[in-house]
Amino acid sequence: MKVTVLGAGSWGTVMARMLGQKHKAVTLWVRSPELKEKIALRRENSDYLPNVILPETVSFTSDIREAAAQAKYIVIATPSHAVRQTVRQIADVVEPDTIIVSAAKGLETDSLKRMSEVIASEIPLQAGNIAVLSGPNHAEEVGVQYPTTSVVAAVSREVAEAVQDLFLLPYFRVYTNPDIAGVELGGALKNIIALGAGVAEGLGFGDNSKAALMTRGLAEISRLGVAMNATPATFAGLSGLGDLIVTCTSRHSRNRRAGLLLAQGKSLVQVEAETKMVVEGIRATLAAYRLARLHGVEMPITEQIYLILYEGKSPHDAVFDLMMRSRTHEAEEVVINNYWNNW
């Protein structure tokens, strides 16, 4: 059984290592031929995930079509903005019964599609043969085999459980969830709140501020998710609350680090120039801002992050405007729909 991972960033590299610990034929596609040769020589991706050695079961290629051909499972671990271009290159060599696993956390800014929708629009697969893997999974910690949990979502239970079995390891526990929309939206939207967490930290605020930001951030993530047919309970799970906590608080979080730079007054161009790897929250903010308007959903934190990133608003002014919004209830929908007459 051939298993292929497309993308050799930190997450793609560590997934190739995990899969190589369990399966005998794993291929890692490395876009750069120079980096491919470097990884093959040392069996280590020192550019993105140093000190993590890849097992002999993992082979390397820079030929994406060779990597995808005859693969039973293809794991897509590229940045979200590259997913469409990536799957378009392999569409005619993928077998109809191949299972594609999206590990990219983002939204396409032009179409506003989730990654599974992008994949489905480019590759003709059997119904249900797309799964999504998400959760609080920093590659740096998975690489040293700290106990980690994740969730796989798919329309087909059979596919979800097959991918669950593909990844299960003593240090990597995988759960299943039928709510593919909720799992994808949680993984994409939490990056926006993590940008805000970095801004709050950079402005010198404390734990109260970060707790408030995360809690109210989860509320607006859930609000948009429900408007897009996700299940509310999903956002209390690993791809929602779990990923939100780790991305807002971890020293490994690129989005949090980008928020720290924003708090220093750096522009979007400067932030992107100073960050080695892709900061998914930047594009996710633009997509979520547009989705909120499209669905008529109030997302005040997302709106302020959008204004900081794309319209040059001062982080201090953004905080002031968030705190001085007109009064409201904590659980607006619950109060208005169920309890108002009793107050």
Q: Residue 236's CB: how many other CB atoms inside 10 A?
A: 12
User: Closest by alpha carbon to 78, among 7, 149, 179?
Assistant: 7
Angle at 115 between CA 192 and CA 226, to 5 degrees: 60
- The DSSP symbol for 339 reads I
Whether 190 is catalytic: yes
Which two three-digit tokens encode residue 223? Answer: 């609000």
84 to 119, 120, 264: CA distances (angstroms): 7, 10, 34
Tell me, rounded to whole angstroms, the distance of Cα 239 from its chain centroid: 9
- State how far the Cα of 239 lies from the Cα of 246, in Å rounded to an integer: 11
- State how far the Cα of 47 lies from the Cα of 276, in Å rounded to an integer: 10
Strand residue runs (E) in 137-274: 148-154, 172-177
- State how far the Cα of 13 lies from the Cα of 49, in Å rounded to an integer: 7
Strand residue runs (E) in the chain: 3-6, 26-29, 44-45, 49-53, 58-61, 73-76, 99-102, 130-134, 148-154, 172-177
Q: Which of 72, 190, 276, 313 is catalytic?
A: 190
Residues noted as catalytic: 190
